[in-house]
């Protein structure tokens, strides 16, 4: 099986472009003053920093973990580099 260069695969390029748009949108929305207020509200709502375990109530523990997962998803998106920039870096890097 031969590897297709990323820039020659329309599907991969489309996925990279969509990922880049989403990551930029997170940055655009959440880096403003109002965006930071919303982030803090989401962080509190999701129970970040609290123990998700509820003794004897497994459903509630699972729910709490799911809520915290939402925050982790947002946090991860905020720290990612858009894929188009990653692809550009790969293209510019010399092969070793």
User: 3-state SS string over the chain?
Assistant: CCCCCHHHCHHHHHHHHHHHHHHHHHHHHHCCHHHHHHHHHHHHHCCCCCCCCCCCCHHHHHHHHHHHHHHHHHHHHHHCCCHHHHHHHHHHCCCC
Give the pLDDT confidence of 58-81 residue by residue, as tens digits.
999 999 999 999 999 999 998 877
Mean pLDDT by 10 residues, the chain (96 residues): 67 86 92 94 96 97 97 90 57 52
What predicted TM-score, i.e. pTM, was given to this entire model?
Answer: 0.70
């Amino acid at each position: 099986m031969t590897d297709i260069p990323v820039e020659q695969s329309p599907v991969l390029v489309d996925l990279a472009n969509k990922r880049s748009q989403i990551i930029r949108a997170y940055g655009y929305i959440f880096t403003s003053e109002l965006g930071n207020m919303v982030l803090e509200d989401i962080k509190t709502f999701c129970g970040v920093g609290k123990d998700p375990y509820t003794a004897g109530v497994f459903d509630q523990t699972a729910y709490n973990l799911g809520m915290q997962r939402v925050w982790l998803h947002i946090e991860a998106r905020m720290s990612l580099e858009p894929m188009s920039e990653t692809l550009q870096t790969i293209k510019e890097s010399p092969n070793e």
